[in-house]
Copies of this chain bind each other. A is one copy, B any other.
Amino acid sequence: MNEHRTQRTARIKDVARIAGVSTATVSRTLSNPDIVSEGTRRAVLEAIEETGYSVNLSAQNLRRQRTGGILALAPNLANPFFSEILSGISDVLRGAGLNLIVGDTAIGDDARLRLVDYANRSRCDGLIVLDGSLDPEVFMRSQCPPVVQVCEWIQGLAAPKVLADNERGAGLAVDHLVGLGHERIGRLAGPEKNTLTQARDSGFGRALGRHGLVPDVVYRGDFSLASGQRAAEQLLGARNRPTAIFCDNDEMACGMMGALRRAGLQVPEDLSIVGFDDIELSRHLTPALTTVRQPRKALGTRAARTLLQQLDGVDVPNETRVPVSLEVRESTAPPAR
């Protein structure tokens, strides 16, 4: 209870002195309590309590040759889609005593250069990559710690992936729309080179094919609300509209729906819309959005667990598929006669 003037935070030495043992014993008490005797342990714990000691992580990390941190690389921190995945990652890492360090890859030109610094054993013990547009080479150098990819993935990077079942999701959307009677089904897709978009494109095409149909118009967006709005404007200007649109995420669907309704078009009466992700908002829209549900938190936790296994030297599957499901709400209906 006595206040020292110099509030220097306690070191392991201080604890050792007060407990009347060596620093080695203090260290053991903390990391391997079973091998110290009952009495010593108690003395040490008391001294720790008294001094308010907590281990210096920089020193511990140096000694243990690790950093205690996992770096998550996301294209856009501000996007709720990614932040919920991060939340899942965070949960798992905390349990493992690891810090979650986040890196926003959506920055200036120097971002790619910097990445080399970050993908380094001295910076982090592992990487979780949520951005499929990054250069694979960075992650293939020997200094780079283990990597896991989530949601999106990088062409040519062999690191394990944790993915939603995108093909199946697209299939569910198509089956639903065709079941309602739609035959002219368009698409609001993500960027052409995005692996996730490609997977859904392929699922979309195949599912249509099973029903003897072919894709109608395809618009390109960038997953933003604004790009949904832009696609709606294109759609409104077109002569021959599809009766339904399958969007690559809920935000674009939402942006599109807003613009369409503002222009006087009725959803779903004039046009059915299906989204992807099932962000929380979707059920609160009017009309509530029919969408393919993607368990984002689960994607995050799975990714983090996969990475931890890798760090433990356990073999992990090259690809983990997380199931998706269709949430049918109000934005889809049979096409107008």
**A positions within 8 Å CB-CB of B:** 7, 9, 52, 54-59, 61-62, 65-67, 69, 76-80, 82-84, 86-87, 90-91, 94, 99-104, 107, 114, 117, 120-123, 141-143, 225, 228-229, 254-255, 257-259, 261-262, 280-281, 284-286, 288, 297
Contact = CB atoms under 8 A, between A and B. Distances in A.
Contacts of A258: 284-286, 288
A57 B55 CA distance: 18
Nearest to A141: B52
A122 B55 CA distance: 7
Given A84-B77, A104-B87, A117 B54 contact: yes
A52 to B, nearest CB: 7
- Kindly list the 7 A-B residue pairs having the minimum CB-CB distance in the complex, ordered from nearest: A83-B83, A80-B80, A77-B87, A78-B84, A58-B62, A7-B142, A58-B61
A77 B69 contact: no
21 contacts: A7-B142, A52-B143, A54-B143, A57-B67, A58-B58, A62-B62, A69-B101, A76-B87, A77-B83, A77-B90, A78-B80, A78-B84, A78-B87, A79-B83, A83-B83, A90-B104, A100-B101, A100-B102, A225-B281, A225-B284, A285-B285
Contact of A67 (B54, B55, B58): B58
- Stoichiometry (number of copies): 2
Contact of A9 (B57, B66, B121, B229): B121
Contacts of A254: 281, 284
Contacts of A86: 77-78, 102
A86 B56 CA distance: 26
Contacts of A107: 91, 94
Contacts of A65: 58
A229 B286 CA distance: 12
A77 to B, nearest CB: 4
Contacts of A280: 225
A117 B107 CA distance: 32
Given A54-B122, A79-B83, A83-B77, A90 B62 contact: no
A100 B70 CA distance: 11
B69 A284 contact: no
Given A69-B69, A254-B281, 20 more contacts: A9-B122, A9-B143, A52-B141, A57-B122, A58-B62, A58-B67, A58-B122, A61-B61, A69-B99, A77-B86, A78-B83, A80-B83, A90-B103, A91-B104, A94-B107, A100-B102, A229-B284, A254-B284, A258-B285, A258-B286
